[in-house]
């Protein structure tokens, strides 16, 4: 009962923080003619509610794809239809075909904010509480871990400030991770496919799920691995088939959806994003040196090659801890090296890093701050500077007050603790300085994007450091952490040597 009360209080605090952020501006507020993500989500409700399924992803006289055309997978479309149906019951003007474009009113804003909050509470909150509800963990540790995920500033700022529904896809992912940790691989596969069919960016997590499940099927000794692999494959295909059923009537219909999901024509990246290609563009203009197909191939090869080591490590030595580290490593590689990356995609990495908030408090806090800072140009554009500062400070205070961030329990590691403090505080000095420059300084007329570029490069350099660190963590996992599996040839060879 006491534990339930603690969770209820935490949930209320998390809702309060979200609601305070939602009182601020949103993406594209009052900025026509295309507005921003808020209008995109509203338009999808309008379009899915008023048009037949066959027109959702196609350019027609009633569906102009140049005006925020639907470019997310079917589950997003179904969710938009549900919200559009409810909106029409409240006020048909909110989703009236074409005439509702750019609709903004206090009542409509309240409705839109509620749709995100309800999705967050119904899906993301339970997923967080479930994933930390495990044996061997104290009640205080579970609540502390849950708090540092639910109050992570990045997700709150983007979903409840900027305006998106990342809480749905990330909630599905956390449920998938929780189920796989419980040994329910089939249900875990279902929920990951649901996440992938809500936002295609969940491909960032696809390699770890594939190689971990494959590794379990190969090395698990308590059942027929081949049969298990077939069951997982059928489950994945069946879930995809259910999600895509309305679009599988013809080949052209399915291909059109895929075309909308992967818009390569948009270019290597959008805006200033803290990945390698955007940072490298300061010195090397890849866009001028290579055509689009060559850029796509470059990104594809770079991403696949860099994902290979941690994926093979997970395949040959599958353990749940390695699986979680691999989720971080692969998603961070995708963010840094893949084609057409959005700055908001860093949320896909943050949510898994936050799962280590108690085990790795220093790295969790540092990563969360830098990841949120990497979205500063977007947040400033949306008028969310004050919420950005407030939520980041709140997270830092809670993290420092509940977890000994710099504590290393041995006199032998005093130097390491000092190095952590020195590195962290100098890193924060850079964050504060670049934030102040972005807010108060005027860039040179010939370099109007100077500060966003500096933010991107500074954040990218940190992400590369984090990538190295989490790879080391994954490869240093002990062999005894592999549970309920037979030893792989790699482990057997190591023992013989």
Question: Whole-model pTM above 0.85?
Answer: yes
Helix, strand, coil percentages in the chain from 3-state DSSP, rounded to 5:
75, 0, 25
- Residue 407 is encoded by which pair of tokens? 């504590």
- Residue 3 is encoded by which pair of tokens? 């534990």
Contacts (Cβ under 8 Å, ≥6 apart) of 218: 225, 315, 488
Q: What is the chain's pLDDT, residue by residue, as a tens digit (497 residues)?
A: 667 888 999 999 999 999 999 999 999 998 878 889 999 999 999 999 999 999 999 999 999 999 999 999 999 999 999 999 999 999 999 999 999 999 999 999 999 999 999 999 999 999 999 999 864 566 678 899 999 999 999 999 999 999 999 999 999 999 999 999 999 999 999 999 999 999 999 999 999 999 999 999 998 776 678 899 999 999 999 999 999 999 998 999 999 999 999 877 777 777 789 999 999 988 888 888 888 889 999 999 999 999 999 999 999 999 999 999 999 999 999 999 999 889 999 999 999 999 999 899 999 999 999 999 999 999 999 999 999 999 999 999 999 988 888 765 555 567 778 888 999 999 999 999 999 999 999 999 999 999 999 999 999 999 999 999 999 999 998 754 544 444 444 444 445 44
Nearest in space to 39 (alpha carbons), one of 28, 50, 53: 28
Nearest in space to 324 (alpha carbons), one of 354, 300, 366: 354
Phi-psi category of residue 180: left, alpha or beta, with phi > 0 → left and psi -120 to 50 → alpha: alpha
8 A C-beta contact, residue 75 and residue 267: no
83 inside domain: no
- Residue 139 is encoded by which pair of tokens? 């009640």
8 A C-beta contact, residue 200 and residue 262: yes
- Provide DSSP, 144-196: HHHHHHHT-HHHHHIIIIII--HHHHHHHHHHHHHHHHTT-HHHHHHHHHHHH
Query: What SS3 class is residue 269?
Result: strand
Contacts (Cβ under 8 Å, ≥6 apart) of 259: none
The domain in which residue 229 lies consists of 2-27+134-492
178 inside domain: yes
100 inside domain: no
State residue 84's pLDDT score. 97
97 inside domain: no
Query: What SS3 class is residue 319?
Result: coil
- What span, in angstroms and rounded, lies between the C-alpha atoms of 448 and 445? 6
User: How many domains does the chain contain in total?
Assistant: 1
What sign does the dihedral 362-363-364-365 (CA atoms) show? positive
State residue 496's pLDDT score. 47
Identify the bridge partners of residue 269 per DSSP, sorted by sequence position.
341
252 inside domain: yes
78 inside domain: no
């Amino acid at each position: 009962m006491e534990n339930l009360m603690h969770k209820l209080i935490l949930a209320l605090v998390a809702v309060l923080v979200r609601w305070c952020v939602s009182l601020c501006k949103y993406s594209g507020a009052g900025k026509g003619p295309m507005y921003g993500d808020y209008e995109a989500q509203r338009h999808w409700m309008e379009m899915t509610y008023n048009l037949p399924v066959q027109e959702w992803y196609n350019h027609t006289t009633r569906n102009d794809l140049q005006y925020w055309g639907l470019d997310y997978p079917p589950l997003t479309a179904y969710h938009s239809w549900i919200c559009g149906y409810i909106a029409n019951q409240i006020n048909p003007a909110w989703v009236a075909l074409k005439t509702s474009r750019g609709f903004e009113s206090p009542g409509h804003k309240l409705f839109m904010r509620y749709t995100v909050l309800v999705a967050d509470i119904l899906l993301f909150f339970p997923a967080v509480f479930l994933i930390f509800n495990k044996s061997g963990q104290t009640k205080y540790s579970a609540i502390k871990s849950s708090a540092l995920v639910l109050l992570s500033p990045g997700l709150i700022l983007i979903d409840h400030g900027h305006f998106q529904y990342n809480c749905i896809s990330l909630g599905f992912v956390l449920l998938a991770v929780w189920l796989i940790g419980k040994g329910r691989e089939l249900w875990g596969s279902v929920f990951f496919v649901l996440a992938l069919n809500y936002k295609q960016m969940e491909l960032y997590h696809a390699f770890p799920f594939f190689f971990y499940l494959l590794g379990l099927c190969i090395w698990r000794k308590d059942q027929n691995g081949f049969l298990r692999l077939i069951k997982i494959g059928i489950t994945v295909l069946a879930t995809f088939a259910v999600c895509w059923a309305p679009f599988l009537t013809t080949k052209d219909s399915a291909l059109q959806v895929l075309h909308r999901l992967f818009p390569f024509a948009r270019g290597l990246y959008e805006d200033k994003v803290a990945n390698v290609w955007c940072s490298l563009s300061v010195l090397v203009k890849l866009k001028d040196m290579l055509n689009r197909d060559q850029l796509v191939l470059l990104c594809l090869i770079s991403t696949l090659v860099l994902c290979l080591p941690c994926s093979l490590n997970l395949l040959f030595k599958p353990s749940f801890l390695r699986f979680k580290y691999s989720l971080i490593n692969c998603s961070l590689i995708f963010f840094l090296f893949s084609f057409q990356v959005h700055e908001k995609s860093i949320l896909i990495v943050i949510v898994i890093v936050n799962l280590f908030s108690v085990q790795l408090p220093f790295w969790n806090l540092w990563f969360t701050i830098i990841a949120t800072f990497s979205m500063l140009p977007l947040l400033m554009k949306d008028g969310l500077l004050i919420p950005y500062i407030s939520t980041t400070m709140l997270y830092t205070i809670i993290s420092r007050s509940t977890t000994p961030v710099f504590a290393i329990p041995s006199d032998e590691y005093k130097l390491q603790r000092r190095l952590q403090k020195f590195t962290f505080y100098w890193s924060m000095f850079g964050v504060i300085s670049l934030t102040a420059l972005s807010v108060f300084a005027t860039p040179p007329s010939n370099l109007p994007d100077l500060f966003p570029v500096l933010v991107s490069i500074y954040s990218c350099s940190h992400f590369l450091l984090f990538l190295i660190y989490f790879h080391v963590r994954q490869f240093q996992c002990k062999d005894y952490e592999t549970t309920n599996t037979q030893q792989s040839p790699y482990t057997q060879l190591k023992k013989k040597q």
